[in-house]
Amino acid sequence: MAKVKVVYTDEAIFHIWERRFLLSWERNIKIPWDIVDTYVFQEDRTFDSFIINLTNKTRYKINRLNLIPIKDDFENLVKDFPRLSNEYKNGIDSSLAANPIKEGESIYASKYFKWIFYFMIVGFLILVLSKLLDSESETRWSSLGVIGSGLLFYWGIINGQEKTTNANKSNRCTTN
């Protein structure tokens, strides 16, 4: 397992390898505050991802395997980043305060993902109807159960993303 330390300074975010992956020669990373644009936190079945989008159209991404309970500061990074990043960015240059670092859109909250999800629901319903109407259908109930469970999982993620987005919007409206 690799271990990384993320350090905030007045000039940049530093990604410092404390322990690298086996056969890895990755270098430490320095991200200046003036190129940080947005951030996104995404939860999935096996990984939690914290993504920082940069103005040069690249991304800095930290994944945490959530299957194995590891004691780390990942939650603190996600929770404190919005406040600390803007404090550091505003401390560099007052002209950067006009472009604060905001929360971006998760892939699960995007219209593209929702269209794919709706298409999968239609396909699932077609399979269920074919199973119900045709007694000789090759579709197994166990397969439909697995597909339905997957759809319910992603439906829960989509609804969770919408609630989080709406809560963040209402918090911004009340604090301004």
124 CB neighbour count, 10 Å cutoff: 15
At residue 168, the pLDDT reads 53
Cβ pair 4, 17 in contact under 8 A? yes
**Residue 69 burial (C-beta neighbours within 10 Å; 0-12, 13-18, 19+):** exposed
Beta strands 29-32 and 36-43 are unpaired
At residue 14, the pLDDT reads 93
Q: In what order do the strands lie in the sheet with 59-65?
A: 59-65, 47-54, 36-43, 102-103
Give the gyration radius of the chain's Cα atoms. Answer: 21
Cβ pair 84, 65 in contact under 8 A? no
At residue 138, the pLDDT reads 83
At residue 98, the pLDDT reads 58
Please report the sign of the dihedral spanned by the C-alpha atoms of residue 51, residue 158, residue 105, residue 86: negative
Tens-binned pLDDT, residue by residue, of the chain (176 aa): 788 888 988 888 999 999 888 888 889 999 998 888 999 988 887 888 999 999 999 999 988 888 877 788 888 888 989 888 888 877 766 655 557 788 887 777 778 888 888 999 999 998 898 888 887 888 888 888 899 888 888 888 777 766 665 555 554 444 44
**Sequence-distant (≥ 6) Cβ neighbours of residue 96 within 8 angstroms:** 33, 34, 89, 90
- For the entire predicted model, the pTM comes to 0.67
Q: What is the pLDDT of residues 53-92, one digit of tens each?
A: 999 999 999 888 888 777 888 888 889 898 888 888 777 6
